[in-house]
Amino acid sequence: MMGPFPDAEQVLVDLLAPFGHACTYLPVDHKGDFDVTKMPVIWITRNGGSRDEITDRPILQVAVFARKRSASAGIAEQCREAVLNSVNRKIAGALVDAAREVTGVTQLPDIDPLNRMVQATYQLSFRRTRL
């Protein structure tokens, strides 16, 4: 009997945790502001994708925040390598069938010159888990 599809965000949280504070919600301090003590922060969100009865193909955005843009870019590159090398590996209980880069590491224009976030988008493929 087949179970649910894996939680794609949790798969990336587990995969990318060695490179920083991997999370699905940005960390906040006691005042509700972004908690800079957690940096580098790797923020993972599912932004779409498709599925059929056999395969889920989530699109996931990975945003990296660090104290310097060069650090953000370096960590983002480590994340990129980890995601692309995750094929045929079991992570968070899920076997990754495929991984591809949708949008490479970029820094979006921002009015705030102190914004050190860079991001990339990936598509993974998973089959349902067995019950």
Residue 63: the pLDDT is: 96
Look up the CATH number of the domain holding residue 105. 3.30.2000.30
The total number of structural domains in the chain stands at 1
| Measured distance CA(88)–CA(72) in Å, rounded | 27
Is residue 84 included in any domain, yes or no?
yes
| Measured distance CA(109)–CA(105) in Å, rounded | 13
Is residue 3 included in any domain, yes or no?
no
Containing structural domain, residue 65 = 8-127
Report mean pLDDT in 10-residue bins for the chain, 131 residues: 84 98 95 91 96 94 92 96 97 94 85 79 90 60
Can you give the pTM of this predicted structure?
0.91
Residue 113: the pLDDT is: 67
Is residue 28 included in any domain, yes or no?
yes
Is residue 40 included in any domain, yes or no?
yes
Is residue 2 included in any domain, yes or no?
no
